[in-house]
Chains A and B, each alone.
Chain A
Amino acid sequence: MGMVLGFGFLQAACTPLLPFARGDEHAREMAELKLEEYFKRNYRLMTDEEKRETIQRLERLYELETGTRPEISMEGPRENVLYGYAFNISKCRGYLECVKACVQENNQDRSTDMRYIRIHEIPGSEFSMERADDSFYHEVPAEGHMYVGTQCFHCDNPPCVEVCPVQATWREEDGIVVVDYDWCIGCRYCQAACPYDGRRFNWKTPHIPEDEVNLNQHYLGNRLRKKGVMEKCTFCIQRTRQGRLPACVEACPTGARVFGNLLDPNSEIRWILENKKVFRLKEDLGTEPKFWYYMD
């Protein structure tokens, strides 16, 4: 183990040293930044000072690479907020506008066509994930079908968080389950543990056309990822912590998606939970998803 670890260290530690041999100012600065990045701590253990420093480094690194500077937020959870989500299965028409918005908002890898959201088409009027198909490719809405969206359910009792050997993923105070992309070691145990297919892995270095990169980022949200780490829906943490709605909710043309604060008795989500017939998926597993389905 030690030997292999040492080898990994060596490989990681030597790569950034290469430019030191050259007199290239840019390359040198990048190498220094990358070296400091490599030795940083888990986000939750950082002091505010350390958080600011790493964000500075990450912004500067991207600037050195591309010439544009992203804006990475470290906004924490708001007081008395617990986010919840409701999905209206009588309204969704399978337009996939949510998917498109999500991919753009969250800087998902275009080269492997990564998507956090899956829309399943179910023939007939009986709700059954058994007969659902998420690979449909035809004009929507198709007559006699219903559509159901799944994504990360931000469980209150998340199995993914439980199994992570390094605590690179955790549930924030406001109920959002996040990943520290720089702490993740890429073992994929959380992906095996998730009963809802909520997680995505970067099998290669993600690629997003430069002019499509969303520069409004959050450290625990849509900032740019690297290869070999896990990512997932974060309820658009970069938007919701500023009081805005997730991109999928905003993009949905039919109003099938509702998002809000479960602790606010006047919120729309609370009204739905109190007045509609709601249900959750795979409730028997005891994961307590904060994602409900309802119908009109």
Chain B
Amino acid sequence: MRTVGAFFRDALDNVTAGSLGYHLWMGFLTFLMLLGAYAYSVQLREGLIVTGMYDYVSWGLYISNFTFLVGVAAAALMLVLPTYVFQDTDFVRAVLFGEGMAVAALIMCLAFVVVDMGGPARLWHMIPIIGIFNWPRSMLTWDVIVLNVYLVINLTVPFYILYHHYQGRKPNPRVYLPGVVLSLFWAVGIHLVTAFLYAGLPARPFWNSSLLGPRFLASAFAAGPALMILILTVINRTTPYTITASTIQKLSLVVTGAAQVNLIMLVSEMFKEFYWPTEHSKSAIYLFFGLDGHSALVPWMWTSLGLTAVATAVLTVPALRRRRPVLLACSALLFVGIWIEKGMGLIVPGFVPEPWGRIFVEYSPTWVEWTVTLGIWALGAWVFTLLTKVAVGVELRYQQSH
């Protein structure tokens, strides 16, 4: 019987050995993380003044990425549901990576929130008992709870399964199924709560919409599985571990459906804003057409719209969707399109124009923000690579012995 200690020792041996490509990849990510750490040290020293944010656009690139990545984390649901609940054997080989992606995305989320804080050293004020946790009044406290619990679920369930496989035993469904079922509801929860964080602010008409939560989910279930398709393809090519074509095929159906729903909702919102524009439509006008000579976001938004629309249209045609290169290209387009739309297209225009109708300087991220952001993305990729390598190692051995 091999112990937990042995599991971690073997895992460590596994992740510290690999091909030259693997070492180069990890070295490259570490380099980016160090760059990010340097940029963050500048921000810690000088304050948030070194970012492009200011009183009238008080959230920017960090919070945009946070919002987007919550969706990526929630998208693990689309792999977990068919595997454990529908007993779909095609997904069994991919589900661990979905959960790994959720873990990596959540770690990035938490990192993005922390780098956005004015006083990160004072974050202990949030810890109940020694600090004050304004729950249930503040949506931000709900978000802290749901994200951390989701992280715990996505660490424990795969660990339980992997550890049993490591010992050459079959995991007991009665132990992990409750966690799995909980994680399904929780996945929807994290993205709804994050949407409510914005939708609950009557001060910002652009966010104060009932559709924000459902739209978050739709775009997340498109972008997350799209990223998964790309990642599974890479895993398939770089490791001895095989992902069947039908797994990718089924995932592409999920992506297509979610992207279609997302587009319908987008059109609904645009109709409401532009058919009869009111005072409250100004943010949307600024975003799509520019306002009072300010139009920094316009090219971004139309690019995003173009990418999303084209990718969705192509994916809708089954004959095209079945061709691997087309599918990969569309997944990439969709992922980038939704990233822009959730970032540039959601957070920033919510602040423009400011509450009394004026537009100040247009927000644009500084090198510090870009570098810190890059560093955190590298951290996510680094975490995901480690988790994947351990999982692949354990799974391959388990399959050989069974």
- The chain A residues found within 8 Å of chain B, CB to CB, are 1, 4-5, 8-9, 11-12, 38, 42, 45, 112, 118, 120, 129-130, 132-135, 150, 159, 162-168, 182-189, 191-197, 199-205, 227-230, 285-286
User: B127-157: contact bitstring with A at CB < 8 Å (1 yes, 0 no)?
Assistant: 0000111100111110010001001000000
Residues of B within 8 A of A200 (CB): 55
A195 B357 Cβ-Cβ under 8 A: no
Q: Does B34 contact A (CB under 8 A)?
A: no
Q: Which of A38, A135, A162, A229 has a CB less than 8 Å from the CB of B137?
A: A162
A193 B201 Cβ-Cβ under 8 A: yes
Extra inter-chain contacts (14) besides given A5-B124, A8-B121, A165-B144, CB under 8 Å: A4-B111, A8-B120, A8-B123, A11-B44, A42-B125, A163-B201, A166-B132, A184-B118, A185-B120, A185-B126, A186-B117, A186-B122, A188-B59, A203-B53
B279 A130 Cβ-Cβ under 8 A: yes
Residues of B within 8 A of A189 (CB): 138, 140, 197
Given the interface contacts A8-B120, A165-B144, A203-B54, does A196 sit within 8 Å of B125 by beta carbon?
Answer: no
Residues of A within 8 A of B123 (CB): 5, 8, 185
Residues of A within 8 A of B358 (CB): 132-135
A50 to B247, CA, bound (A): 62
Residues of A within 8 A of B151 (CB): 1
A118 B356 Cβ-Cβ under 8 A: yes
A202 B47 Cβ-Cβ under 8 A: yes
Given the interface contacts A130-B357, A165-B144, A203-B54, does A12 sit within 8 Å of B202 by beta carbon?
Answer: no
A203 to B141, CA, bound (A): 23
A132 B357 Cβ-Cβ under 8 A: yes
Q: Which of B46, B139, B356 has a CB less than 8 Å from the CB of A120?
A: B356
In the complex, 21 of the A-B residue pairs with CB atoms within 8 angstroms, ordered by the A residue number, are: A1-B110, A132-B356, A159-B203, A164-B134, A164-B138, A166-B125, A166-B133, A185-B120, A185-B123, A186-B122, A187-B116, A189-B197, A192-B203, A193-B201, A193-B203, A195-B203, A197-B354, A197-B356, A228-B47, A228-B48, A228-B119
Residues of B within 8 A of A45 (CB): 132
Task: State the 4 A-B residue pairs at the shortest beta-carbon distance, nearest first.
Answer: A186-B118, A228-B118, A12-B121, A195-B203
Q: Which of A185, A192, A203 has a CB less than 8 Å from the CB of B201?
A: A192
Residues of B within 8 A of A11 (CB): 44, 121
Residues of B within 8 A of A228 (CB): 47-48, 117-119
User: B192-206: contact bitstring with A at CB < 8 Å (1 yes, 0 no)?
Assistant: 000001001111100
A188 B118 Cβ-Cβ under 8 A: yes
Q: Which of B47, B121, B126, B148 has a CB less than 8 Å from the CB of A204?
A: B47
Q: Which of B58, B121, B133, B351 has a CB less than 8 Å from the CB of A165?
A: B133
A134 to B359, CA, bound (A): 11
A188 B58 Cβ-Cβ under 8 A: yes
Residues of B within 8 A of A194 (CB): 203, 355
Residues of A within 8 A of B54 (CB): 203
A122 to chain B, nearest CB (A): 11
Given the interface contacts A196-B355, A228-B48, does A183 sit within 8 Å of B111 by beta carbon?
Answer: no
Residues of A within 8 A of B350 (CB): 192
Residues of B within 8 A of A186 (CB): 48, 117-119, 122
Chain B residue at smallest Cβ distance from A199 = B55
B55 A201 Cβ-Cβ under 8 A: yes
Q: Does B49 contact A (CB under 8 A)?
A: yes
Q: Does B114 contact A (CB under 8 A)?
A: yes
Chain B residue at smallest Cβ distance from A150 = B356
A9 to B204, CA, bound (A): 34
Residues of B within 8 A of A168 (CB): 125
Residues of B within 8 A of A229 (CB): 118-119
A288 to B279, CA, bound (A): 21
A135 to B359, CA, bound (A): 11
B379 to chain A, nearest CB (A): 10
Chain A residue at smallest Cβ distance from B351 = A192
Residues of A within 8 A of B111 (CB): 4
A9 to B114, CA, bound (A): 13
A163 B47 Cβ-Cβ under 8 A: no
B355 A197 Cβ-Cβ under 8 A: yes
